[in-house]
Amino acid sequence: MIPFILIVAIANPNLLRARMAANQATAVGSLRTIIAADLTYSSTYGNGFATSLDQLDGSGRGAASCEHALLINHALANGEKNGYIFTNSAKPSSDLAGKGCAESGASGFTVNADPVNRNTTGVQSYYTDETGVIRVEKSGPASADSDELQQRFAALSLTVSPEELSMAIPG
């Protein structure tokens, strides 16, 4: 019994860190999804950017439209996903509404992604806007002044022998 408790006590912090890292990676991926959805919304409807995350959703509401574009999933549109809260702010536009749209879209947007419980569901906060640059803050809410997120990609090394290569290529 004691060895099991000891193993759980040692593994639990590692599991928490792994879960936070996964949540943070998902938050960054969700911000990329929102950026792509807003750019698609703007080019599809000619109405600027969406004024809310709900406007990018639309699940269960029929065909895609300016009011419900069917570009992001319902969980993300509700503003909470995988331990992070997503807050969208639209920059007002003085332009007329696009064709088929009830009201004009936004001239720009900002989205913040903050952990539901800092140091439990995530540590870092993220920020993005219509520029598509994702910014990160390690100790509080992120802003346009926060550091740009630097993505780290591990180099993939692949070694293939001439025999394996010849077997993989037909003919």
The DSSP secondary structure of 9-30, one letter per residue, reads HHHHHHHHHHHHHHHHHHHHHH
In sign, the C-alpha dihedral spanning 87, 93, 98, 101 is positive
Residue 28 pLDDT grade (very low, low, confident, very high; cuts 50, 70, 90) = very high
> CA–CA separation, 8 vs 91, rounded Å?
48
Predicted local distance difference test score (pLDDT) of residue 97: 87
Predicted local distance difference test score (pLDDT) of residue 53: 96
Domain spans in the chain, listed from the N-terminal domain onward: 2-168
The answer, yes or no, to whether residue 164 has pLDDT greater than 70, is: no
pLDDT digits (tens, 9 = 90+) for 66-88: 888 999 999 999 999 999 999 99
The pTM (predicted TM-score) of the whole model is: 0.80
Residue 2 pLDDT grade (very low, low, confident, very high; cuts 50, 70, 90) = low
The answer, yes or no, to whether residue 44 has pLDDT greater than 50, is: yes
The answer, yes or no, to whether residue 130 has pLDDT greater than 80, is: yes
Mean pLDDT of the chain: 84
Whole-number percent of the chain with pLDDT over 90:
60
Residue 101 pLDDT grade (very low, low, confident, very high; cuts 50, 70, 90) = confident
171 vs 38: which has the higher pLDDT: 38
Per-residue exposure over 18-32, b if at least 16 CB sit within 10 Å of its own CB, e if not: eebeebbebbbebbe
The answer, yes or no, to whether residue 153 has pLDDT greater than 50, is: no
Predicted local distance difference test score (pLDDT) of residue 117: 94
Q: Are 74 and 56 in contact (CB under 8 A)?
A: no
The answer, yes or no, to whether residue 157 has pLDDT greater than 60, is: no
